Amino acid sequence: MEKIKWVMNEMPKGEGTEQELMSVDEVAKARDFHRSFPQYSETPLAELKGMSEYLGLTDFFVKDESYRFGLNAFKVLGGSYAMGRYIAEQLGRDIADVDYSYLTSDKLKDEFGTTTFYTATDGNHGRGVAWAANKLGQHSVVHMPKGSSQIRLENIRKENADATIEEVNYDECVRIANAEAEADKNGVMVQDTAWEGYEKIPTWIMQGYGTMAMEAAEQLKAAGVDRPTHIFVQAGVGSLAGAVQGFFANLYPDNCPTTVIVEASEAACLYKSAAGEDGKIRFVDGDMQTIMAGLACGEPNTISWEILRKNSTAFVSCPDWVSAKGMRMLAAPVKGDPQVVSGESGAVAMGLIATLMKDEAYSDLKEAIKLDADSKVLMFSTEGDTDPDNWRAIVWNGKYPSYED
């Protein structure tokens, strides 16, 4: 059985100012924007007291994003906010003046018209962009990598998007979408990764993700936890991870929680970059076959990377069995705990935390990050059963077992 791999952050911290992009004030702007949507409500922060006792922790909390805007995943937070910021910028307005009621008004159509938003996705980001574009009377074009789930494609098409599955990997889909956006005089790329020359929209997307982190921080305080000791957050290109890391580093500037970045082993570009210890980005290429489709990205977000290498504690590469284990544990909780329906990209931190606390083979990592009986742990279940058939195959039928047959 493939092993979990890990590396502590020994990289130079750098002098960049990227962390300022995730300041509490900037995230509050995104939160206010999302609150203007009639579909908005805080997603639950599940306190798993029984699981915490079983694992030997003080507290364990799971932010459950399967309830977000009825879309079963958190990604809509980023795409919707980026689209709002783009429209506000084109009109020369502050985002505070461009809320949901205005964006869906006849006045906007007169003042702005319509734009086509292009993107690439493994599923959740594209659905979020398509949903937001549909709600706001705009257009969207979505490209998905080969091997993408048919049901995820159909969910995107239900939002009136022009969506296709291509015969290339995720990073190539990004290039296809970007080329089409550049060729369309009324087109704009809305992608949740950044590269040189493409930073503004990815920054807005990360700030949109910050709404989830801000909610979690407030919910923790309401539950009597002033500060989590540990945060586990998964990463594909790293936009979510950088958003969460950046927000909590700003919220607790003198005592940032220990933050562990978790990736799929087939697409562990951040882990490989951290292992290089020089602060330089490494890419992963090829098909990146993993059940964690939302994490199957081989080229890191350059903005997020600077935040992660400056603040994160450790980077962990996880095989598929870790995610499958986490899905089963959250779906069949300890008696008295709430159930969390978590998809392949949402549950990997659960599988990792449980393995660290229960498997002596990984005691070195557990000790290195000081995960113990005094720990108050926060993780993010970023999607529900976005591929119901595969969710059942894993949770009901035991696919991808966490033991040797």
Provide the annotated active-site residues: 75, 122
Which residues are CB-neighbours of 293 under 8 A, at least 6 positions away? 122, 123, 147, 148, 149, 152, 344, 345, 387
Other residues' Cβ atoms within 10 Å of the Cβ of residue 291: 24
**How far is residue 71's CA from residue 59's CA, in Å, rounded to a whole number?**
28
DSSP 385: -
Decide: 119 and 159 in contact? Cβ < 8 Å.
no
**How far is residue 387's CA from residue 390's CA, in Å, rounded to a whole number?**
6
DSSP 42: P
Where does residue 53 rank: exposed (0-12), middle (13-18), buried (19+ CB within 10 A)? middle
**How far is residue 85's CA from residue 343's CA, in Å, rounded to a whole number?**
30
**How far is residue 153's CA from residue 173's CA, in Å, rounded to a whole number?**
14
How does strand 187-189 pair with strand 116-120?
parallel
Distance of CA 240 to the CA centre of its chain: 4
Of 159, 134, 19, the C-alpha closest to 83 is 134
- Helix or strand or coil: residue 117? strand
DSSP 4: P
Six-digit token string for 378: 């926060």
Give the position of tokens 């993700």.
Answer: 209
CA angle 258, 259, 263 (to 5 degrees): 150
**How far is residue 395's CA from residue 328's CA, in Å, rounded to a whole number?**
5
